[in-house]
């Protein structure tokens, strides 16, 4: 009763809908308030397990760890595999506090699948599989060890190679540098093209044919990884603008200079890496937003992280494993 009620509370759009579905399925009446209390206990127990992992994962080492002696239990380890990691943030509505930021990490396996014969000039498709997530309402400094524990749980240090695909948010790259110093850093393709579009619109006028033409050429430069061409020849085609339009152009150039080495997209594609962070962005929308940003919903501050814990374990395929760990506490 506890497990299925709490699972319905996680997968349904609201606790009221979850209670109605449970009543229809079982024929036994349950109020949404009762189901809410059950889910709260379960979510808090899951969060406690995750926080315990995070404390252990980030405690100072007393001795070197050998493989198989890690302090955090493994789940779907990525030992010897190619791994993609993305960090991102979204917001949820919190009572009396307004919109508060939630941060998340997504860890996936890179699976390359060729759609053509070996003699074809077509590029192999890159797919991300076996996703896991960990989310928390926290600032960047607090979230850093949270995502680090997820990496330990998946055994990311034993991966064959690792990439980190993020947008331009500085906190994402600080965590990447601290926790994954050997990883290949990739600026999300979608965010890069958004900046190209903004520069073109500012330079030539919003919606103009000239802006579209420049955008298409600059986008092709970037797709081929020709960052020097973009910042050189292509930038010289831009008319000088003042005020906000000029500021947008200057900010765009600074953005591309800062992320120059993270935009070698042709090289990344040829090596079989993903160049987009859409999976974590999708998680922000479909894992967090779908459940926690319903119209009129407002979450008590103490309820946010327990729900995030339940959502993360469910969408990581770990619900049954986690239930086995918390059942004595939830009973």
Task: Tell me what pLDDT residue 121 has.
Answer: 52
Residues 134 and 94 in one domain: yes
288 belongs to a structural domain: no
Residues 38 and 118 in one domain: no
Q: Mind listing the pLDDT tens digit for each residue in 281-316?
A: 887 888 898 899 988 889 999 999 999 999 999 999
291 belongs to a structural domain: no
pLDDT tops 90 at residue 280? no
Task: Tell me what pLDDT residue 46 has.
Answer: 97
Residues 194 and 175 in one domain: no
147 belongs to a structural domain: yes
CA angle, 326 then 69 then 110, to 5°:
80
For residue 166 the two structure tokens come to 């993020």
Q: If you average pLDDT over every residue of the chain, what do you get? A: 91
Burial 16-35 (b: 16+ CB within 10 A, else e): ebbbbebeeeeeeebebeeb
Residues 108 and 182 in one domain: yes
51 belongs to a structural domain: yes
75 belongs to a structural domain: no
Q: How many domains does the chain have?
A: 3
Residues 177 and 86 in one domain: yes
Task: Tell me what pLDDT residue 118 has.
Answer: 44
Least confident stretch, 33-37, 89-93, 215-219, 295-299 = 295-299
The beta-strand segments (E) located in 64-207 are: 82-94, 98-113, 125-136, 161-166, 184-187
More confident residue, 114 or 156: 156
Residues 203 and 176 in one domain: no
Q: Mind listing the pLDDT tens digit for each residue in 72-126?
A: 999 999 999 999 999 999 999 999 999 999 999 999 999 865 544 444 456 667 8
161 belongs to a structural domain: yes
Residues 230 and 168 in one domain: no
Q: Could you say which of 232, 262, 292 is where a domain stops?
A: 262
Residues 249 and 175 in one domain: no
Residues 53 and 21 in one domain: yes
71 belongs to a structural domain: no
Residues 239 and 308 in one domain: no
Mean pLDDT calculated for residue range 262-276: 93
Residues 310 and 256 in one domain: no
The pLDDT > 70 percentage for the chain reads 95
d(CA 103, CA 201): 31
Q: Which domain holds residue 250?
A: 190-262
67 belongs to a structural domain: no
Residue 94: CATH number of its domain: 3.30.420
211 confidence band (pLDDT: 50, 70, 90):
very high
Mean pLDDT calculated for residue range 219-237: 93
Q: Evaluate if pTM is beyond 0.95.
A: no
Task: Tell me what pLDDT residue 65 has.
Answer: 73
Residues 199 and 179 in one domain: no
Task: Tell me what pLDDT residue 117 has.
Answer: 45
């Amino acid at each position: 009763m506890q497990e299925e009620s709490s699972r319905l509370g996680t997968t349904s759009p609201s606790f009221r809908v979850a209670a109605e579905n449970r009543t229809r399925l079982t024929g036994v009446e349950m109020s949404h308030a009762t189901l809410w209390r059950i889910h709260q206990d379960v979510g808090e127990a899951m969060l406690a397990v995750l926080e315990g992992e995070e404390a252990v994962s980030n405690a100072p080492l007393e001795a070197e760890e050998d493989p198989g002696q890690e302090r955090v239990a493994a789940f779907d380890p990525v030992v010897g595999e190619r791994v993609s990691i993305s960090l991102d943030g979204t917001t949820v509505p919190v009572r009396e506090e307004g919109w508060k930021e939630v941060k998340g990490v997504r860890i996936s396996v890179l699976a390359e699948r060729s759609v053509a014969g070996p003699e074809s000039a077509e590029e192999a498709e890159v797919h991300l599989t076996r996703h896991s997530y960990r989310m928390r309402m926290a600032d960047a400094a607090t979230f850093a060890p949270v995502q680090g524990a997820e990496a330990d749980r998946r055994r990311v240090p034993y991966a064959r190679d690792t990439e980190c695909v993020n947008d331009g948010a500085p906190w994402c790259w600080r965590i990447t540098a601290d926790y994954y110093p050997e990883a290949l850093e990739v600026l999300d393709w979608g965010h890069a093209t958004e900046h190209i579009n903004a520069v073109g619109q500012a330079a030539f006028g919003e919606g103009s044919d000239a802006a579209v033409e420049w955008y298409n050429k600059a986008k092709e430069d970037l797709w081929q990884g020709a960052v020097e061409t973009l910042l050189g020849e292509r930038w010289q085609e831009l008319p000088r603008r003042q005020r906000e339009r000029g500021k947008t152009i200057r900010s765009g150039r600074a953005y591309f200079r800062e992320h120059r080495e993270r935009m070698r997209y042709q090289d990344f594609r040829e090596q079989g890496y993903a160049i987009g962070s859409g999976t974590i962005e999708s998680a922000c929308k479909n894992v967090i937003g779908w459940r926690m940003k319903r119209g009129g919903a407002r979450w008590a501050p103490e309820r946010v992280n327990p729900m995030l814990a339940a959502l993360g374990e469910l969408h990581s395929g770990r619900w049954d494993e986690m239930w086995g760990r918390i059942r004595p506490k939830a009973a």
